[in-house]
Amino acid sequence: MNSDQFKALEAFSSLRLQRLQNFLQSNQIVKSWERFTATMAARQETAPHKQRDTRVLQVNASKIGQFVFENSQQSFLGDWHIKLSEDNSDAANLQEAASRLRDSDMPVAFPTETVYGLGADATRSAAVRGIYSAKGRPSDNPLIVHISSLSQLRRLLVPKNGLSPDLKSAPDPIPPIYEPLISRFWPGPLTILLPLPTPSLLAPEVTASLPTVAVRMPSSTLALALIHLADVPIAAPSANASSKPSPTTAAHVLHDLAGRIDLILDGGPCNVGVESTVVDGLTNPPVILRPGGVSIDMLRSFPGWEDVQVAYEDGAETGAPRAPGMKYKHYSPNARVLLFHGQMDGVSAKRYLGKGKSVGVLTTRTWQEGFLQSGSQIPGNPPISNMNGHVPNGDAKVHQLRENADPELEIVEVTPSLTPIAIPSAQHSQVRLSDQDDQDTTEIWTIGLGQNTANIARGLFSALRELDQKGVDIIFVEGIDDGEGGAAAAVMNRLRKAAEAEIIL
């Protein structure tokens, strides 16, 4: 081959390569790929789940039995057991769920103090894969492992082939950096990242190939009893369809996962309402990977955590997630969500209320009256000024659940007293935007979450779901000051992940 022939071949090859690149970058191939992935995802979601008969079993945690502590501190951190009540449907339902977790590959939904979880035996790959399948969850999104005692945790942190019958004689596998946090915040809404031993007892699907595992001990006595009776660590993300608002009632779980799982334990509404704080103390300085009820200021009061940093973004992040909830869009209702800061006055209302639209509104601290001053209230509809975080005329959904015993810290204690909590319902009104046009009206569904941060966190996901059920096109949410940290930062983190835009008025 002479030089001219070689140059001609080189030019031809370059042209073919350019055409191939253009083809791969064309809209046609992109759209074809999107159709293919959408079809495969739909097949994966619908094919295995249609024949399941989902049952909801009621469990009152106060009736399941007596907790017996085998340690001088009378703490769930040490060894303990439970004496189940005899001839009791609550205890029987709990035992059935524990048996399924231990012996089957089908996940079970159960309540914690934060949100409802979808649990499976964290040591068996088939069981863990059932979680990803039921939720439609991406496989690179790691799971949190729930434990019921420190003894159970320590067994997970030693190599699978190096288990000692007497863990007390071996060095403590729990890193010392976590000791003060465990003593203060466990059981409770705090998740810690721990080094994964090699080989590990945990199924590889739990950690999504990461060298660490996220672990927490819930404060819900129902959840603790379930894990203890199953006698296995429980991998459990939130029990919702992936990307949807997290469930805080059994009804939310049933709405998303009916036909996909067999069993839902109904222990009433969750008290905290947003997921746990996730921290990584294996780095220097330590970092917060997901905000929750434990604030950065609270963490900085403990030795080794004085310089803890924020390492999360409020939007969807790129790259491999270090902890659950970091990478993908989460907490999103079907309706579009707009997150606002500031008072919604008449001018602002006219700008964002569209003709003939159905609008959902979540109010927190200042939107009690100003939002609807842009239009005329149609006779026969309740005025928006009544919706200030309480349901008019006492028309509230009242549930019995464990009230926060320490609202300043926003941490749920293990054995608080039972008190009723009112969850406001959506209130309907119609607003006429123009006095000249009777057809220029907007349907309004409003839920007032009140001014208390704990109440806002507790009701957030439930409110987003209720407005979705009303069929609204768009949801306006009044943001709160996340400079407060803790639950306020958690609320705003979830809202920013759900919102398509954040607007300063």
Query: 435-490 pLDDT, tens per residue?
Result: 656 666 788 899 999 999 999 999 999 999 999 999 999 999 999 998 878 899 99
| pLDDT (0 to 100) of residue 376 | 45
pTM of this structure: 0.80
| pLDDT (0 to 100) of residue 411 | 43
Which residue stretches of 219-263 are H helix?
Answer: 221-230, 250-257
Task: Please give the mean pLDDT across all residues of the chain.
Answer: 81
Structure token digits, residue 374: 């842009």
Instruction: Kindly compute the dihedral angle of the four CA atoms of residues 402, 404, 405, 408, in this order, to the nearest 10 degrees.
Output: 180
Work out whether the CA dihedral 471, 472, 474, 476 comes out positive or negative.
negative
- Asked if pLDDT for residue 36 goes beyond 50, the answer is no
Mean pLDDT of the region 133-155: 95
- Asked if pLDDT for residue 35 goes beyond 90, the answer is no
Give the C-alpha distances (Å, rounded to integers) separating 100 from 30, 107, 113, 121, 234: 43, 8, 22, 9, 12
DSSP line for 400-468: EEEPPSBTTTTB--SSPPEEEEEEPPPEEEEEES-SS-TT-EEEEEEEE--S-HHHHHHHHHHHHHHHH
| pLDDT (0 to 100) of residue 259 | 95
Instruction: Kindly compute the dihedral angle of the four CA atoms of residues 77, 81, 84, 90, in this order, to the nearest 10 degrees.
Output: 30
Structure token digits, residue 148: 């019921």
Give the C-alpha distances (Å, rounded to integers) separating 28 from 32, 34, 35, 69: 6, 10, 11, 65
Work out whether the CA dihedral 149, 154, 160, 161 comes out positive or negative.
negative
Q: Report the share of the chain in percent with pLDDT over 70.
A: 71
Contact of 258 with 145, CB cutoff 8 Å: no
- Asked if pLDDT for residue 344 goes beyond 60, the answer is yes
Mean pLDDT of the region 155-173: 77
| pLDDT (0 to 100) of residue 127 | 98
Structure token digits, residue 72: 């001088």
Chain centre distance of CA 249: 12
| pLDDT (0 to 100) of residue 211 | 95
In CATH terms, is domain 55-310 a member of 3.90.870.10? yes
Instruction: Kindly compute the dihedral angle of the four CA atoms of residues 18, 19, 23, 27, in this order, to the nearest 10 degrees.
Output: 80
Of residues 78 and 434, more confidently modeled: 78
Q: Where are the domains of the chain?
A: 55-310, 336-389+424-504
| pLDDT (0 to 100) of residue 219 | 97
Tens digits of residue pLDDT in 442-452: 888 999 999 99
Tens digits of residue pLDDT in 211-240: 999 999 999 999 999 999 999 999 999 999
| pLDDT (0 to 100) of residue 343 | 81
Give the CATH H-level superfamily of domain 336-389+424-504. Threonylcarbamoyl-AMP synthase, C-terminal domain (3.40.50.11030)
| pLDDT (0 to 100) of residue 111 | 98
412/221 Cα distance (integer angstroms): 11
| pLDDT (0 to 100) of residue 373 | 43
pLDDT-wise least confident of 100-114, 388-402, 442-456: 388-402
| Residue 406 banded pLDDT, cuts 50, 70, 90 | very low
Of residues 16 and 408, more confidently modeled: 16
